[in-house]
Amino acid sequence: MIHLQNLDFGYRKGERLFEGLDLNVERGGIYGLLGRNGAGKSTLLKLMTGCLKPDSGSVELFGREAFDRHPDSLQRLYFLPEQVYLPARSWKLLAKAYGPFYPNFSEEAFYNGLETFHVPTDRKLTKLSLGQKKKGLISFALACNTELLVLDEPTNGLDIPSKAQFRSIMAETVTDDRAIVVSTHQVRDLAGLIDPIMVVDNGSMIAHLDLNAVSNALSFTLESSLTPPIDALHHERVPGGYYVVRPNTTGRHTEPDLEVLFNAIVAPNSRVLTTLASASHLQNA
């Protein structure tokens, strides 16, 4: 679906945000794109979807150059950025104006989404709260039924019940013949939903991980201790002790905390990344 090869990009001459970046997104699964603030997650999504042109390298979308913005590619893609301008119109007029651009758009699914999220349908869009706008836009994005769905920080502005509803709807949405890419810094909002995860840092893709492979290689445990474990690959202080990451020597799967995993991956001289790379090498040998 999406293929980036040797991509370089920067907003200013002489400054590189990405350099030599490679990435593939295939059908099936909800890809989680993680990175620090300013790491370029939103920029990368815009490059993937053809909204920005790379300085060098290539970005292919459905086999075509993404920046060419071919109509056939655009019909098969829906990109919901973090911030969207909404006109002083109703959801009904929005659906009538933009729904026809997507061959599989379902007006029924759109209104069902608005109902599920408790979004008012009798007000102008400019009169809605941030959370109501976000839930309505998510409902529209899902109703387009595109092969590729790209969402930038979709849970920003959602309250706790809406986040639970979002996770439920997204779990029902993913199929083997489509792909979803979600950029987020609120990884716990999407726990149990995103897999694989992609981590960008310092201008490159430093990790592209299947979470089952992570659980095969690493163990994640809460340990009640007053002192940090010296034998851990990574540890973080939590109430009552430490959250600890170690090599998995027992073969027992433990569910990784995505926030802790991310912190462990981007840590200087990450021992977790080294362990994961070694485990991958052994599996492929």
Structural domain spans, the chain: 2-206, 210-284
pLDDT tens track, the chain, 285 positions: 899 999 999 998 878 899 999 999 999 889 999 998 888 999 999 999 999 999 999 999 999 999 999 999 999 999 999 988 898 999 999 999 999 999 999 999 999 999 999 999 989 999 999 999 999 999 999 999 999 999 999 998 889 999 999 998 888 888 888 999 999 888 888 888 899 999 999 888 899 999 999 999 999 999 998 888 888 999 999 998 999 999 999 989 998 999 999 999 999 889 999 898 877 643 432
What pLDDT does 230 receive?
A: 86
Spatial CA neighbour of 119 closest among 169, 193, 72, 186: 169
d(CA 10, CA 16): 4
Question: What is the CATH architecture of 2-206?
Answer: 3-Layer(aba) Sandwich (3.40)
What pLDDT does 14 receive?
A: 75
Q: Which two tokens stand for residue 196?
A: 């694989």
Residue 256 has what DSSP assignment?
A: P
What pLDDT does 280 receive?
A: 62
N-term to C-term CA, the chain: 28
What is the greatest pairwise CA distance in the chain? Answer: 61
What pLDDT does 143 receive?
A: 96
d(CA 120, CA 133): 10
